[in-house]
C-alpha cells in the first residue's frame, strides 16, 4: 500500500472560530481528520507528524525549514510521498527553500493549505488536502510522477520555487508567472509531464546549514543615498537581492553605482531580480543596466523574490567562494530559473 506522511505545521487549514471570541483558534490534527471523512476512502496508508506547537506561517524561519527537511530525511525510506500543511502567507518561501535543501529528491513533497478554515461550509481545505495526497501518491510504474517540491492550491499544481502568493481573497491564491503549471485537477488529474523534473540519479541528501546574512534593496524613483547606504552597510552582509525596474534597470546616478561597486569589491554578491512578476532580467539590454553588468552584478533572470532569497541563504550556507556563488545563482539547480 502506498504510504504518505502528512506533516502538519499549522495555517488556516487547521483553524476554527472560537464561538465566544470569534477569533481563529488552532485545531489538532485529529480534529482535522474528523472533518474530512473522505480520507478513509483513499487506498493509502496515511501517517501524521504534527508540529508542537503548530506555527502561524508568518513565524516561519530557517530553523523551521531545517526541521521540516529533517523530518522528511528521517522518514524518507518509509514513505512514498509527503504532504506539508502550511499557512499560505509564506508557503512559497518554504517550498522554495526545501527545493534547494533536497538534493536528488525522487519523491513528491507537496505543500498545501487553504484560504478558509476546514470547518467552514465553503472551505477550500478539503479539496486541497485530498488532491495533494493523491498527487503525492501518484506514480508511473514504480517511480514517483512528481519527484519535486510543489505547491497544490485551487486545482493547480505549481513548482514550489516558481510559485508566488498573489491574492489573499480568492481561493486562487497562487500563480506561477514564469513557468507553466505541472498539473491541473478537474474531472481527472491532468499532469503536464514534460514540465515536471525528471527523477534524478544519485543518493538523496539534505543540506543542513543556512546563512541569513542577506539584505533586500527595492529600487524606486527618488531613492536616496541615505536609504541605500543604510542597507549596504548592514553588519555581516554577504549578499544583496536588488529588486530593479523592468528587465533589470536602476538609476545610473554616480553615487548609486559607486556604492554598489564598493560592496562588490568587498566580496558581497549582488543579485538583480525584476520587480515585474512576468519576464526576466536582461542586463545590458539598456544602458541603465549595462553598468551593473560591467561591475559584476549577478543576473537573477526570472527568479521569484522567494526563490532568490532562499537560494542565497542556501548557497551562503555552503561557504562557497564569491565566484562560485555568483555562478550558481545564475545556474538552475532545481528548475527555479530559465536563462534567457
Mean pLDDT over residues 157-180, rounded? 96
Show the domains of the chain with their CATH numbers.
3-206 (3.40.50.1170), 214-329 (3.40.50.40)
Average pLDDT, the chain: 94
Strand partners, 271: 241, 298
> Each residue of 224-236: pLDDT tens digit?
999 999 999 999 9
pTM: 0.95
> Each residue of 281-335: pLDDT tens digit?
998 888 778 899 999 999 999 999 999 999 999 999 998 999 999 999 999 999 9
- Amino acid 121: pLDDT: 85
pLDDT at 244 over 80: yes
pLDDT at 111 over 90: yes
- Amino acid 178: pLDDT: 97
Place of cell 498539473: 183
**C-alpha closest to that of 271 among 236, 311, 235, 233:** 311
Side-chain half-sphere CA neighbours of 228 within 13 A: 22
Choose between 30 and 294: higher pLDDT: 294
**Confidence class for position 22, pLDDT limits 50, 70, 90:** low
Lowest mean pLDDT among 108-122, 233-247, 279-293: 279-293
**Cα-based torsion angle of the residue sequence 238, 240, 241, 245 in order, rounded to the nearest 10 degrees:** -160
- Amino acid 279: pLDDT: 94
Q: Residue 239, Cβ neighbours under 10 Å: how many?
A: 27
The edge-to-edge listing of strands for the beta sheet with 298-299 is 214-218, 239-244, 269-274, 298-299
pLDDT at 214 over 70: yes
How far is residue 11's CA from residue 45's CA, in Å, rounded to a whole number? 24
**C-alpha closest to that of 6 among 129, 150, 160, 88:** 129
The DSSP code for 183 is E
Q: How far is CA 183 from CA 120, 145, 268, in A?
A: 27, 11, 39
**Confidence class for position 28, pLDDT limits 50, 70, 90:** confident
Selecting among 2, 9, 12, 252, the annotated active-site residue is 12
**Confidence class for position 95, pLDDT limits 50, 70, 90:** very high
338 is catalytic: no
The torsion angles phi and psi of 136, rounded to 5 degrees, stand at -60, -25
- Beta-carbon contacts of residue 251 (< 8 Å; ≥ 6 apart): 219, 223, 288
Q: Strands of 260-313 (E only): list them.
A: 269-274, 298-299
Amino acid at each position: 500500500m502506498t504510504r504518505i506522511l502528512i506533516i502538519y505545521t499549522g495555517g488556516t487549514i487547521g483553524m476554527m472560530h472560537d464561538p465566544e471570541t470569534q477569533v481563529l483558534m488552532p485545531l489538532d490534527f485529529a480534529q482535522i481528520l474528523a472533518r474530512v471523512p473522505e480520507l478513509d476512502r483513499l487506498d493509502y496508508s496515511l501517517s501524521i507528524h504534527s508540529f508542537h506547537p503548530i506555527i502561524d506561517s508568518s513565524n516561519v524561519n530557517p530553523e523551521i525549514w531545517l526541521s521540516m527537511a529533517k523530518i522528511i530525511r528521517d522518514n524518507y525510506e518509509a514513505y512514498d510521498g509527503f504532504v506539508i500543511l502550511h499557512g499560505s502567507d509564506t508557503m512559497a518561501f518554504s517550498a522554495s527553500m526545501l527545493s534547494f535543501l533536497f538534493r536528488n529528491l525522487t519523491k513528491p513533497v507537496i505543500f498545501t493549505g487553504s484560504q478558509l478554515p476546514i470547518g467552514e461550509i465553503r472551505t477550500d481545505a478539503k479539496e486541497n488536502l485530498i488532491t495533494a495526497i493523491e498527487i503525492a501518491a501518484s506514480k508511473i510504474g514504480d517511480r514517483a510522477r512528481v519527484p519535486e517540491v510543489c505547491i497544490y492550491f485551487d486545482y493547480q499544481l505549481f513548482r514550489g520555487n516558481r510559485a508566488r502568493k498573489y491574492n489573499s481573497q480568492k481561493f486562487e491564491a497562487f500563480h506561477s508567472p514564469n513557468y507553466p503549471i505541472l498539473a491541473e485537477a478537474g474531472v481527472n488529474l491532468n499532469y503536464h509531464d514534460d514540465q515536471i523534473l525528471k527523477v534524478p540519479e544519485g543518493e538523496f541528501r539534505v543540506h543542513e546549514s543556512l546563512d541569513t546574512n542577506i539584505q533586500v534593496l527595492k529600487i524606486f524613483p527618488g531613492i536616496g543615498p541615505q536609504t541605500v547606504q543604510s542597507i549596504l552597510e548592514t553588519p555581516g552582509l554577504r549578499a544583496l537581492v536588488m529588486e530593479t525596474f523592468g528587465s533589470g534597470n536602476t538609476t545610473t546616478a554616480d553615487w548609486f553605482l559607486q556604492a554598489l561597486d564598493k560592496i562588490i569589491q568587498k566580496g558581497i554578491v549582488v543579485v538583480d531580480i525584476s520587480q515585474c512578476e512576468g519576464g526576466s532580467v536582461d542586463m545590458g539590454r539598456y544602458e541603465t543596466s549595462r553598468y551593473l553588468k560591467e561591475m559584476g552584478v549577478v543576473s537573477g533572470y526570472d527568479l521569484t523574490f522567494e526563490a532568490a532569497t532562499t537560494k542565497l541563504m542556501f548557497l551562503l550556507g555552503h561557504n562557497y567562494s564569491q565566484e562560485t556563488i555568483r555562478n550558481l545563482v545564475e545556474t538552475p539547480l532545481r528548475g527555479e530559473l530559465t536563462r534567457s
